[in-house]
A and B are shown apart, each in its own frame.
Chain A
Amino acid sequence: MGWYNKRLAKSLWVFHISGSPCNNCDIEILDLLTPRYDVERLGIKLVGSIRHADVLLVTGIFNQKIAPKIKKIYEQAPKPIFVVAVGTCVSSGCCFKESYNRVEKREEVIPIDMYIPGCPPKPESMIEAVVKLVGVLNG
């Protein structure tokens, strides 16, 4: 995989899905594309289809209605795909822990490779996470 990963790390294409967040993380992800942070200079591009993606960004607590759809999207993705969880919601449930509509273990819906904590995480920390991912891929 080493040869493949090195090519992959040059230009990561990301796809973003939101599983019941407060949509703040989603706005911050979009913010990364705009002139202030502009991650396209690092070869990162937000794409319109999961079939083109190398990295899947997920946000939110995954409510029970949306969880099967997230699973379906993950299954449609070409492998290998790296799942990055953005925000505290995915890692701990944030303030929605007591919700009746929450999936208990989000790792059972899709395997998650990396967590970015923060409510919402700052764009800088998201960039750092991506850089770390690139570092891992480069070996």
Chain B
Amino acid sequence: MKANKIPIGPFHPLLEEAEYFELTVDGETVVDIDMEIGWMHRGHEYISEMKTFTQSIYLVERICGICSTSHPIACVHAIEDIDNIEIPVRARYIRTLVGELERIHSHLLWLGLAGHFIGYDTLWMWAWKYREPVLEMFEIISGNRNHYGMMRVGGVAQDLDSAKVVELYKHLDMIEKKMVMISKAAKDDPVLKSRLKGVGVLSHEDAIAYCTVGPTSRASGVPGDVRLDEPTDAYDLVDFNRIVLQNGDVYDKLVVRVLETFESIKIVRQCLDKLTTVTGPVLNNVKEISPGEGIGRYEAPRGEVFHYIRSDGTNRPIRHKVRAPSYVNIPSFKASCKGIPIADALITLASVDPCYCCTERSLKIIDKNHDPCSFDLLKASREKTERIRREINAD
């Protein structure tokens, strides 16, 4: 049996960031996968050592545009962990509010893209349409659609006045109604179900061996969730559930994300309720950071964000380590991509919600005789969906 190598990337025709994959295929089946990264390497850890603590919060905000409040929250947790700084109760609710709204918009974004990859563009348009009100809520809270700049060591930067809270309720009611509709459409769709069920399975053992985090591991039965394991901010003051499913396929990852969105809506509602009653300051003045080391983490939409900060008593960190969730989730492709057909590779690669979200690329297969033949991954994926749709309708 001869094995062909399929290069994907580094620049792909549409959408998002650059990434390079090399699939080894045997006929239609993927045998092995290799990744090359570094196309997005900007040297955050190096730049952060030149910035003050307050400046580095703004820097880590720009690591990723989608987790743009998870990184700052983890960063301020790390700095607060050095000195055990307490933050005001109202600030805790505002932090949780912003963090959970981000989870809603990120999961909706992923849901849309997943639909796009398997040729279900209606889902894409729907999910992104109802993602807009969430961005509007951010605009009300912070003044910007993305990159909110809300976090500070010892609290948050801005307070929310009661007029804004009333506006936020209206948006939230609308989002909840639409989410019910989308989730019914997505979860009960027979095409989506037969297209995603049993595809790209990441087993429980592999999820532990690769140290995966977030929805990727929770769909494989690993119950880690930082919000419940180490409750910071307002997570020990609100009521919500841990979502864990067992199958580890792409469909379970979709369901985990949809159910988590509802949990997030629940948390946001509780936070808004509390913000109308809890009063007080939102920022404790922190004058200086003493020497020491601190670990901060936060459950980003994709999993645990980890920040380690070491201070020597000056106003700059001497070491600032950042570990994003995709960094540990992406190597698990080695386990989940083996033995699946090429048409399913695309949605499997997208299933961990990698930070280079849109894994859409066209490929070129070069076989051993070096006869190039063009092969479009997206087309293959969509054709399979179309085939399944026809089969279901025929029944």
Distance in Å from the Cβ of B133 to the closest Cβ of chain A?
Answer: 9
Given A34-B125, A65-B38, A65-B39: A24 and B46 interface contact (C-beta under 8 Å): no
Given A26-B17, A26-B65, A69-B18: A34 and B128 interface contact (C-beta under 8 Å): yes
In the complex, chain B residues whose CB is within 8 Å of the CB of A19: 18
Complex contact B58–A46 (CB within 8 A): no
Given A66-B39, A73-B11, A122-B145: A18 and B16 interface contact (C-beta under 8 Å): yes
**In-complex Cβ contact of A101 among B14, B43, B58, B357 (8 A):** B43
Interface presence of A131 (CB below 8 A): no
In the complex, chain B residues whose CB is within 8 Å of the CB of A73: 11
Interface presence of B15 (CB below 8 A): yes
Interface presence of B332 (CB below 8 A): no
> In the assembly, what is the distance between CA of A34 and CA of B66, in Å?
17
Complex contact B128–A35 (CB within 8 A): yes
Complex contact B47–A35 (CB within 8 A): no
Distance in Å from the Cβ of B273 to the closest Cβ of chain A?
Answer: 29
> In the assembly, what is the distance between CA of A119 and CA of B61, in Å?
11
How many chain B residues sit at the interface, stated as a range, is 35 or more
> In the assembly, what is the distance between CA of A47 and CA of B12, in Å?
11
Distance in Å from the Cβ of A81 to the closest Cβ of chain B?
Answer: 15
Give the number of residue pairs across the A-B interface with Cβ within 8 Å.
125
Complex contact B42–A23 (CB within 8 A): no
In the complex, chain A residues whose CB is within 8 Å of the CB of B59: 95
> In the assembly, what is the distance between CA of A20 and CA of B129, in Å?
27
Q: Mark B347-368, 1 if CB is under 8 A from A, else 0.
A: 0000000011110101000000
Distance in Å from the Cβ of B231 to the closest Cβ of chain A?
Answer: 29
Complex contact A27–B47 (CB within 8 A): no
Q: Mark B237-261, 1 if CB is under 8 A from A, else 0.
A: 0000000000000000000000000
Interface presence of A136 (CB below 8 A): no
Q: Which of B91-123 contact A (CB under 8 A)?
A: 109, 112
Interface presence of A94 (CB below 8 A): yes
Q: Mark A45-62, 1 if CB is under 8 A from B, else 0.
A: 011111000000000010
Distance in Å from the Cβ of A121 to the closest Cβ of chain B?
Answer: 10
Q: Which of A38-93 contact B (CB under 8 A)?
A: 46-50, 61, 63, 65-66, 69-70, 73
> In the assembly, what is the distance between CA of A49 and CA of B132, in Å?
28
Given A69-B18, A119-B147: A34 and B39 interface contact (C-beta under 8 Å): no
How many chain A residues sit at the interface, stated as a range, is 35 or more
Interface presence of A30 (CB below 8 A): yes
Given A24-B66, A24-B147, A122-B145: A48 and B41 interface contact (C-beta under 8 Å): no
Interface presence of A120 (CB below 8 A): yes
Majority-rule SS of B interface residues: loop
Complex contact B14–A96 (CB within 8 A): no
> In the assembly, what is the distance between CA of A100 and CA of B50, in Å?
12
> In the assembly, what is the distance between CA of A100 and CA of B47, in Å?
9
Complex contact B17–A99 (CB within 8 A): no
Complex contact B42–A61 (CB within 8 A): yes
> In the assembly, what is the distance between CA of A95 and CA of B255, in Å?
37
Interface presence of B40 (CB below 8 A): yes
In the complex, chain B residues whose CB is within 8 Å of the CB of A34: 112, 124-125, 128-129, 132
Distance in Å from the Cβ of A101 to the closest Cβ of chain B?
Answer: 5
**In-complex Cβ contact of B18 among A18, A24, A96 (8 A):** A18
Interface presence of A8 (CB below 8 A): no
Complex contact B109–A27 (CB within 8 A): yes
Interface presence of A104 (CB below 8 A): no
In the complex, chain A residues whose CB is within 8 Å of the CB of B147: 24, 119-120
In the complex, chain A residues whose CB is within 8 Å of the CB of B27: none
Complex contact A22–B41 (CB within 8 A): no
In the complex, chain B residues whose CB is within 8 Å of the CB of A63: 39-42
Complex contact B42–A101 (CB within 8 A): yes
In the complex, chain A residues whose CB is within 8 Å of the CB of B14: 16, 46-48
**In-complex Cβ contact of A22 among B18, B65, B109, B129 (8 A):** B65
In the complex, chain B residues whose CB is within 8 Å of the CB of A22: 62-65, 68
In the complex, chain B residues whose CB is within 8 Å of the CB of A31: 128, 132
> In the assembly, what is the distance between CA of A65 and CA of B11, in Å?
12
Complex contact B125–A20 (CB within 8 A): no
Q: A20-B40, A48-B362 are in contact. List 12 more A-B contacts (CB 8 A).
A: A18-B16, A20-B39, A21-B17, A30-B128, A34-B129, A47-B13, A47-B14, A48-B13, A65-B39, A99-B43, A100-B43, A102-B42
